Structure 1
Amino acid sequence: MRAYLIALLAAGFLVAFDILSAPALFMQADGTKTVLVRQIRGETPLTIHFIHSVQKTPVEEFLTVHADGHFHLTGTRYQSHGVGLPFLPEEGTFRQEGDYFVLDMDRDYSELSLRTGVGTELMIEAGGERIPVYEMYPVGTRIDLVVAPLYTYLF
């Protein structure tokens, strides 16, 4: 009976270790850390939604988050051309879908920092949830997206 209990405890410890040491996606802002995705296995989709500060039209940026901590920008979708919006052929494959312009891209980022802005309505979509960041933090708040082991959330 005692050997069975020890084996059961060891198995529980190994499962807990696996869960807590798995890479997770966090949002850090104003000294707080929020878990967005508890376990990243391979590629995990991430979408950033905002209103362009100059064009005043919606923009979506499509990324994948990797367990090694890097972010891969796969494309962007927006409604107008203008200052600050990509349009050059060397930036990716460009097409129009109805009222939207879509640019398929291939860029890697080792880190991802955003900032809330006046009227930009920044939202992050990850793990099946859309987070209205602009409602949670004041204008000008730096938002860092970070991949780290889940146990870092506890400490």
Structure 2
Amino acid sequence: MEYRPLGQTGLEVSSIGLGCVTFGREIDKATSFDVLDHALERGINLLDTAEAYAAGESERVVGEWMADRGVRDRVVLATKVSGTLTRERVITSAEESLQRLGVDVIDLFQLHVFDDSTPWTRPWRPSTRWWNRARSSTSVAATGGRGRWPCPGWVGLRRGPPNGIGAAALQPRAA
């Protein structure tokens, strides 16, 4: 398997990632575990899920598999927030994803679909209760704040209009 840097995140990801959209929906838990085992054995370390996949069941299946196999440190875990991208919605989504996944940190937290209704200038500062929980020492300003949160500074945009992606790229970030 070939591995590549994921942008400037410091993460190395397999050139092939595993999309987990069908886990807990078309594919039952046991079969999902088999697919995840097979992928990891072949060197695939990028697992992509979302809160919207099977109403969160995909995240639960991936989280249970990581816990059962003890492989959290071997995967790059990506998930996504959907819907309106207000500060409150993003924070709630991340907290709920952390619970479903059974992890302390999400490696790549993505915006599933661009939201034209929420201006990029609206602050998304993480809440102070996250400061004590976060394992990462990275300060996040990609979300408009300077607090630490359990997504170590890497927020991705899955798709969106060019002007929206440009606006997101111009948001200040902390060192």
Q: Could you say which TM-score interval applies, normalised by the shorter chain? A: under 0.3
- TM-score by length of structure 1 reads 0.21
Higher strand share: 1
Greater C-alpha radius of gyration = 1
**TM-score, normalised with respect to structure 2:** 0.20
Q: Which protein has greater RCO, CA pairs closer than 8 Å, 6+ apart?
A: 1
Higher helix share: 2
